[in-house]
Homo-oligomer: A and B are copies of this chain.
């Protein structure tokens, strides 16, 4: 693998963590409660395992410990995250999309200044671009994308499977809604070929992050190893 140019080296991982903020006016925004904890843990685990890691993290995400193989850059809105992914993706081999991207943004964009307090207000929202689907469409054959699905338990598997197809990704890590508030994780991993992987049940987010990085070849079906 060593004769590949650096931008094609298979051991560069791009990880997103935290959530986007869609600005309503200069002070208010639409947000998501994702803490960015799992994404930051994945970044550290991957760097520890020898991968070169780029972490894109949302506003007020837990800052990752510094690491010689880890570079971190902040993002704010979903539009900003998309621009940063467009910039970084081609020099990476694996994308782990742990960030929660807002599905909606205010129609017409951000209002200048600060909206006045009034009687009542209607906020018209339009869907944001499906970032993962777009990134997936513009990926090379040697690149792999792992996305996340956070859904209600009853419909978790069906919703995750639909997401796998719709977004054209290689793997979906499906979690019930309860994961967000919990220090534990109980994920099911659905792969493109129809198979499923089950990590140890009820492990901590740090344990899960290490497990996923150790089993990245299994998940991505890329046979390369971290350096």
Contact = CB atoms under 8 A, between A and B. Distances in A.
Interface of A: 21, 24, 26-35, 59-60, 100, 102-104, 107, 113-115, 117-127, 150-152, 177, 180
Contacts of A32: 27-29
Nearest to A155: B113
B34 A31 contact: no
Contacts of A177: 26-27, 113-114
Given A21-B31, A27-B33, A122 B122 contact: yes
13 contacts: A21-B31, A24-B30, A26-B180, A27-B180, A28-B33, A28-B102, A30-B30, A33-B59, A35-B60, A113-B152, A113-B177, A114-B151, A122-B122
Contact of A29 (B26, B31, B107): B31
B21 A29 contact: no
B150 A27 contact: yes
Contact of A34 (B27, B117, B121): B27
Contact of A33 (B29, B102, B104, B180): B29
A177 B139 CA distance: 41
**9 shortest A-B CB distances, which residue pairs?**
A103-B117, A123-B123, A31-B31, A121-B125, A60-B60, A120-B126, A113-B152, A29-B31, A27-B32
A127 B122 contact: no
Given A29-B30, A113-B177, A121-B125, 6 more contacts: A26-B177, A27-B32, A27-B100, A28-B32, A35-B60, A123-B123
Nearest to A128: B117
A107 to B, nearest CB: 7
A114 B163 CA distance: 15
A102 B31 CA distance: 13
A160 B28 CA distance: 19
B122 A124 contact: yes
Nearest to A180: B27
